Structure 1
Amino acid sequence: MAERLLTVEQLQVSFHTRDGDNQAVRGVSLHIDAGETLGIVGESGSGKSVTAKAIMALIEPPGEIISGRIEYRGKQLTELTEKEWRKLRGNEIAMVFQDPMTAMNPVKRIGSQMMEILRRHRNLSKEEAKRESIELLRQVGITEPERRLNQYPHEFSGGMRQRVMIAMALSCKPGLLIADEPTTALDVTIQAQILDLLKELKNNSDTAIALITHDLGVVAQVCTRVIVMYGGMMMESGSVEDIFYRSQHPYTQGLLRSVPKRGGERERLVPIEGTPPDLLNPPPGCPFMARCPHAMSKCASLPPVYTLSQGHTSMCWLADKEAKTQ
């Protein structure tokens, strides 16, 4: 049985504004095991990235973790000091951000930034850190790594910058890598290369990956398990097969209908009508009720999380046979 790396229980994150508290994450619970790739999907504003930043203790004012437990290998992360976090962040848990240009220092050479991480976390000498940096760049498919070490971030293309970010994230051999929309704003060819890189990582190491994306096609290629988020809550979770072939939540089904399929006849895509809920004043019941084609009076109260089969859950009253008649 795989080691349980990360456990998140009833996480709540709010952003305090003049108009009230924006309840970005509302009671999310999840887990990640060693070596697996977990996809976290949902449209913009569903709480995916905020959840990831909360795990990394990167929520800054006016944001605040209101409640919840985050545990990594038995260690309570919400109780760590910033000094303790500096040892853990980048070493045990690493993150690849959505925009690699803003994640790197634009006035420092790539090699300098990579070597700094290696010397701080792995206590390598300057020469050892340089050799390791060259090898890491080679592993992520960057040609002429010796020359590239002396260049600045603006001298790299978007895809190459993302490769450098992945190399930096992997430099300390973390147990968990969080990748936040790593293929956003990249062309299709570069997207495929980055996904191949993540698949290779999954196959060749015990590093677990949490892949945050709005692209279900990406999830199908890379992930083993999927969490579907909406309105700051977890709507459905299960294996890739559960979500793509046995989905039960109307929101998951709506997402799948709005994705074009490869090959076959031309088809009409079905968008999800309506807009996401206002998280300054979220509905008391199911957050998807206003857009759901199966909505019923019972949906005005929040449904529990139903277990549909081993590892497959749905937060929807449709899973309750008695609720359908109410």
Structure 2
Amino acid sequence: MNNLLELDNLQTSFFTREGEVKAVRGVSFAVKRGEVVGIVGESGCGKSVTCKSVLKLLGSNGKVVGGHVHFMGEDLARKTPEQMRHIRGNDIAMIFQDPMTALNPVLTIGKQMSEILIRNQNLGKKAAKEKSIAMLQQVGIGNAEQRYHQYPHEFSGGMRQRVMIAIALSCHPKLLIADEPTTALDVTIQAQILRLLKQLQQQTDTAIMLITHDLGVVAQVSSRVVVMYGGLVMEQGSVEDIFYRPAHPYTRGLLASLPRQGDAGARLSPIEGSPPGLLNPPPGCPFAERCPQRMERCSSLPPMYQIKEDHQAMCWLWDSEVKHAGR
């Protein structure tokens, strides 16, 4: 089986005082072994919730209410909490959004790294320390033996993110989920972190799910892209298809809103309007209210159309009747 991870009609909700928030409403895509898949979309579109659903890290009011999550052929929904604790870190690791707050400020870097190796890899203290130092060296942190004994506040934001990457990769996971790994970093450090992720992925053949709202980040490291909006997948395909042959109006809108090199002074084209609320999501296409090409049938949810092999879009524009009518 070539697919490492398969999401099939995944549905995740949060139950609040106001009602059921349908954060993920039927997401399907796969991640192959050793590939980098970028998951993009506006804030609140369901990117992070999709990935936390894989690891069952939804909190007390979150629940997967439908669909399946298959990892290496096994349904994670059927795993017990104890089995999931073994999978987290060993088989699937996650880099969380903010490196400034993800590390425990009262424990040394070495203590935090060694604890994971002792628990997940059954290493002794000496072996865990040696491996932790080696991982710090692998992610480009100089004076690793000295840094091992330091606290998070003694590291810059970029260095903390490198530590997070070292922790995530220390148990040699088959899948790494990186949730906005460059959000809190300046542009120069962002580029360094992305190069590091790409380099480590090539060295270890670890598959990566890269969650971001930045299409520029996706273009640098991903081979395939999943575009999400309103808790659904709007389009998915190769980087070349998404950037040069976008099939969904939302994807085209995202690309049009990007500043272009050499177009200094040119006006950007924002997407007018706001994303739909997911407490009472619309019955049809969630992008319809903001779409310049909306039509009457957009009031019902379109199926996922196959544009070509490995390129799909959820849009009525690809319906044979609509294309035949010349729309």
TM-score bin (small chain) = over 0.9
| 4+ runs deviating over 6 angstroms | none
Q: Secondary structure of the equivalent of 1:160? A: helix
Instruction: Verify: 1:163 aligned to 2:162, yes or no.
Output: yes
Match in the other structure for 1:56: 55
Residues 21-40 of structure 1 aligned to structure 2 (within 5 Å): 21-40=20-39
Aligned residues: 325
Are the equivalent residues in 2 in contact too, given 1:228–1:235 (CA < 8 A)? yes
- For 1:110-141, what per-residue CA distance to the aligned partner results, in whole angstroms no more than 9, with x for missing partners? 10110111111222221111111111001111
- For 1:229-275, what per-residue CA distance to the aligned partner results, in whole angstroms no more than 9, with x for missing partners? 00000000000000000001000000000011123554221000000
Are the equivalent residues in 2 in contact too, given 1:111–1:130 (CA < 8 A)? yes
Q: Secondary structure of the equivalent of 1:44? A: coil
| Structure 1 portions without partners, runs of 5+ | none
Q: Return the alpha-carbon distance in structure 2 between the equivalents of residues 323 and 77 of structure 1.
A: 40
Residues 1-326 of structure 1 aligned to structure 2 (within 5 Å): 3-264=2-263, 266-323=265-322, 325=325
Q: Return the alpha-carbon distance in structure 1 between the equivalents of residues 67 and 320 of structure 2.
A: 31
- For 1:288-308, what per-residue CA distance to the aligned partner results, in whole angstroms no more than 9, with x for missing partners? 000000000010000000000
Q: Secondary structure of the equivalent of 1:242? A: helix
Q: Secondary structure of the equivalent of 1:90? A: helix
Q: Return the alpha-carbon distance in structure 2 between the equivalents of residues 119 and 61 of structure 1.
A: 28
Q: Return the alpha-carbon distance in structure 1 between the equivalents of residues 214 and 292 of structure 2.
A: 23
**Cα offset, 1:101, TM superposition:** 3.1
Q: Secondary structure of the equivalent of 2:90? A: coil
Q: Return the alpha-carbon distance in structure 1 between the equivalents of residues 117 and 16 of structure 2.
A: 39
Could you say what the CA RMSD is over the residues aligned between the two structures, in angstroms?
1.2
Q: Secondary structure of the equivalent of 1:209? A: strand
Q: Return the alpha-carbon distance in structure 2 between the equivalents of residues 123 and 297 of structure 1.
A: 60
Are the equivalent residues in 2 in contact too, given 1:298–1:323 (CA < 8 A)? no
Q: Return the alpha-carbon distance in structure 2 between the equivalents of residues 184 and 213 of structure 1.
A: 8
Q: Secondary structure of the equivalent of 2:172? A: coil
Are the equivalent residues in 2 in contact too, given 1:289–1:299 (CA < 8 A)? yes
Q: Secondary structure of the equivalent of 1:23? A: strand
**Cα offset, 1:99, TM superposition:** 1.2
Which amino acid in the other structure matches residue 307 of structure 1? Q
Q: Secondary structure of the equivalent of 1:10? A: strand
Q: Return the alpha-carbon distance in structure 2 between the equivalents of residues 126 and 16 of structure 1.
A: 42
Q: Secondary structure of the equivalent of 2:189? A: helix
Q: Secondary structure of the equivalent of 2:289? A: helix
Q: Secondary structure of the equivalent of 2:6? A: strand
| Structure 2 portions without partners, runs of 5+ | none
**Cα offset, 1:60, TM superposition:** 1.2
Which amino acid in the other structure matches residue 56 of structure 2? A
Which amino acid in the other structure matches residue 301 of structure 2? L
Q: Return the alpha-carbon distance in structure 2 between the equivalents of residues 321 and 82 of structure 1.
A: 47
- For 1:126-181, what per-residue CA distance to the aligned partner results, in whole angstroms no more than 9, with x for missing partners? 11111111110011111111111111112211111111000000000000000000
Are the equivalent residues in 2 in contact too, given 1:10–1:68 (CA < 8 A)? yes
Which amino acid in the other structure matches residue 101 of structure 1? M
Which amino acid in the other structure matches residue 12 of structure 1? Q
